[in-house]
Amino acid sequence: MIRLQEEPENVELRRQFDEWLVDSVNATAWAETERMSRAVAGGSPAHAQDWGPFLGRLRHGAAEAEGCLGGPLRLPLSDATDRVAKSARTRATVARPDRRRVLGLGGLAAAAAVLALVVGPDLGRSPDADYVTGTAEVRSLRLTDGSLVTLAPKSALSVGGAGDARHVRLLAGEAFFEVTAAPERPFRVAAGEVQVTVLGTAFNVNRGKAGAEVGVAHGSVRVDYAGSFPTVAETLAAGEFLRVGWSGRIARGERPVSQAAAWRHDQLIAQDQALGEVLDRLRRYYAGAIVVTDDTLLGQPVTGVYDLADPVRALRGIVRSQKAVVRGITPWLLVVSRF
C-alpha cells in the first residue's frame, strides 16, 4: 500500500503488484488490509475529548520528528487526523486499486500514530517503579546510601524499602550505577531474573526484550541468572561485558571502558548485535513508533556508532547496512522495509 501510494504512476510496480495479487494468500491479506483501512478511516475516536489535550501537551514537549511529511508537523491533533482521514476516503477497489487515486493508508497510519502516542510514553510501565523517565529523558538520582544512578530514557527503577537502598530493580530500560563502597552491605541490581552484585564499582545494566546486558566501567561485579540450565554465574572486571538472553544464551566480551555507558554521551554503540536489540535502544529516543515490516531484518548483525541526539538519522544509518529503507508515514510513525 505504501509503495503504490508513493508511486501511483509506476507501471513496473503495478505489474509486480498484479502478479503478487494472483496468489490467493496475498489476495486475502490485501483484502484484510483494505478492510482495516476503511474501518479505521470511518471510525470515530473514543474518548477523544479526554486524550486529545493530553496528546497535544505530550507532542509539545517532544523532540521534532525529521523527514516526515516534509518536515516537522505543527498541527492540532484534530486537524492532522482530518487530513489523513480525507485522503483515506479516496480509495480504490480491493482487488484492483486505481493507480491514479490515493490508497486508504491515511486512516490506518493515523490510528497507528495515535496508538503510538498513547502507549509510546510507556504509561503501562510497572506501577512499582519509584523513578521513571520519558522519551529522550536522562535522569540522575542519589540513593540514600550515597550511590549515584543515571537512568536512561524510557526506563523504570524500583528502590528497596526503607533502609534498603542497596537493593534495586531495573524494571525497564537502562541505568548506569556508581556504587558507594560498603563491604558489609553488597549492592544488588535485579533486571528480571538477572542479578548483579557489587561492593563498590561503576557499571551499566540494560534490560531489553531479549535479555539483559551488564558492562563494567571499573571495579568488578558478579552476574547470576537462574533462569537457564546450567545457571549463569560470571564475574566481570573493568572493560568486560556480558549479555544474557532470557533463554540462557551468553555472550561475553571486552570493550573500552569509555563505552560502558556510551548513551550518557548520546552515542549508541553496537558491536555485532541483532538489529532488533539495537532498535529497542533507539526507540527510547524517538517519541513515535518504529515498525519493521520484515522480521528477518531483526536478527541481522549491526556494528557501528550512531548519534542518539538525532534518532531518525541514526535509524537510517542502522538499516542502510541491511539494504533497507526508512519511510516517514507521519511525524510519529516510521516504517522500516527492505524495498
- The segments of the chain whose pLDDT lies below 50 read 62-107, 109-110, 113-114, 116-124
Alpha-carbon span 6 to 103, nearest angstrom: 9
Q: In terms of CATH architecture, what is 266-339?
A: 3-Layer(bab) Sandwich (3.55)
pLDDT tens digits for range 194-248: 999 997 799 999 998 889 999 999 999 999 988 777 788 889 999 999 999 887 7
Alpha-carbon span 112 to 307, nearest angstrom: 26
Alpha-carbon span 153 to 103, nearest angstrom: 36
Collapsing DSSP to helix, strand or coil, 53 comes out as helix
Alpha-carbon span 145 to 180, nearest angstrom: 7
Pairing of strands 333-337, 289-292: parallel
Alpha-carbon span 145 to 160, nearest angstrom: 12
CA distances to 81, 195, 216, 286 from 240, in Å: 49, 16, 6, 29
The residues that bridge with 173 in the sheet, in sequence order, are 207
Nearest CA-CA partner of 329 in 295, 289, 297 = 289
Cis geometry, peptide bond prior to residue 331 (ω within 30 degrees of 0): no
Alpha-carbon span 244 to 247, nearest angstrom: 8
Collapsing DSSP to helix, strand or coil, 294 comes out as coil
**Sequence spans of domains, the chain:** 2-119, 130-258, 266-339
- Residue 99's pLDDT is 36
pLDDT tens digits for range 74-94: 333 333 334 333 333 333 333
DSSP class of 9? T
Nearest CA-CA partner of 254 in 242, 264, 245 = 242
Cα angle: 229, vertex 230, 232; to 5 degrees: 110
Classified by CATH at the fold level, domain 130-258 comes out as Jelly Rolls (2.60.120)
Our measurement of the distance from residue 127's CA atom to the centroid of its chain's CA atoms, rounded to an integer in Å, reads 20
Alpha-carbon span 188 to 198, nearest angstrom: 6
The residues that bridge with 334 in the sheet, in sequence order, are 290, 328
Alpha-carbon span 180 to 221, nearest angstrom: 13
Alpha-carbon span 149 to 318, nearest angstrom: 29
Our measurement of the distance from residue 261's CA atom to the centroid of its chain's CA atoms, rounded to an integer in Å, reads 18
N-terminal to C-terminal alpha carbon distance within the chain: 12
- Residue 132's pLDDT is 94
Q: Give the chain's radius of gyration (CA, Å).
A: 23
Alpha-carbon span 63 to 310, nearest angstrom: 10
Alpha-carbon span 290 to 125, nearest angstrom: 19
Q: Are 67 and 312 in contact (CB under 8 A)?
A: yes
CB atoms < 10 A from the CB of 276, how many? 17
- Residue 81's pLDDT is 37
